[in-house]
Amino acid sequence: MGSEQTISMLQIWGILRKHFRAILGTTIVVFMASVFVTFFVMTPKYSATTEILVNRKLSADMQGAQFQQVQADVQMISTYKDIITSPTVLKSVNKEIKQYPGYPGSISALKDSLSISNSQNSQVFSVTAKSEDPGTAAAIANYTARVFKKKVVKIMSINNVSIVSDAAVNHKPVSPKKTLNLLAGIVLGLLLGIALAFIREITDKTVTTEDFLTGDLGLTSLGIVNEIDQKDIEKTAETRRNRAKTTRGNNSESHRRV
């Protein structure tokens, strides 16, 4: 078993060495394609985040129920996540940001640009907006938080939402991730090149060595016919013609002397 594994690995290494140039070429082509797509095709996107606190203020005579109220507020965040991305909120936000550069284009696209997250057992949740313009991303996050704060009072009849921090403009794009894309291009190109090398090796039925005939097919070798380069053939023919001319010249000279 160890011998078979060694032979197998040697064969793999031989295939990789044989098709090294093709593998390298494929890797370079795919890498250059990833560079082009990353820097010239994909549009940079920016994000901004605002934080919202869910905390109902209790009267003095209800301070003993503070813990239960906190737990209720934490559980209510799941409901608030659905409300904040509902048409009731987003229609008003959409009207406010229509004139902004990088406007998503529709309420559906606006919803896709938003993401809501919170830590476990935390009364604070974050609203993150993404846009092709950093200022628009911050505006979407801030308008969404403000509209939600107003709407939730009417919808839930509870005033327990406050904005902890407004979204700030961040000029550093969050996508595309250039380094990751370029590394992915190199890895993908390398894997594709190796795959093509093995496919080419498997589908190639050309007999290239005597060992293949005697070892793999079990045939008897009767001899080897070497390939002669066309230039060598022409050179040999030219040499023979020159010799023939020389011979005829010598024969003619001999006849004249006789």
Q: What's the pLDDT score for residue 207?
A: 64
Q: What's the pLDDT score for residue 242?
A: 76
Residue 209: Cβ-neighbour burial (10 angstroms; 0-12, 13-18, 19+): exposed
Dist. CA 57–CA 63, nearest whole Å: 9
Q: Per residue in 19-61, pLDDT tens? A: 899 999 999 999 999 999 999 999 999 999 999 998 866 555 5
What mean pLDDT do residues 149-164 have? 87
Helix axes 20-36, 2-18, angle to 10 degrees: 60
Assess whether 116 and 32 both reside in one domain. no
Dist. CA 119–CA 115, nearest whole Å: 14
Number of helices (H) and strands (E) in the chain: give both, helices first. 9, 4
Q: What's the pLDDT score for residue 5?
A: 44
In a domain, 82, yes or no: yes
In a domain, 213, yes or no: yes
Domains: count for the chain: 2
How many C-beta neighbours within 10 Å does residue 24 have?
13
- Residue 212 banded pLDDT, cuts 50, 70, 90: low
What mean pLDDT do residues 201-222 have? 68
Give the CA distances from residue 100 to residues 51, 66, 143, 144, in Å, rounded to whole numbers and listed in that order: 22, 43, 12, 15
The residue that leads in pLDDT, 129 or 62, is 129
In a domain, 145, yes or no: yes
In a domain, 241, yes or no: no
Residue type, 199: I
- Checking if the pLDDT of 67 tops 50, the result is yes
Domain that holds residue 101: 43-173
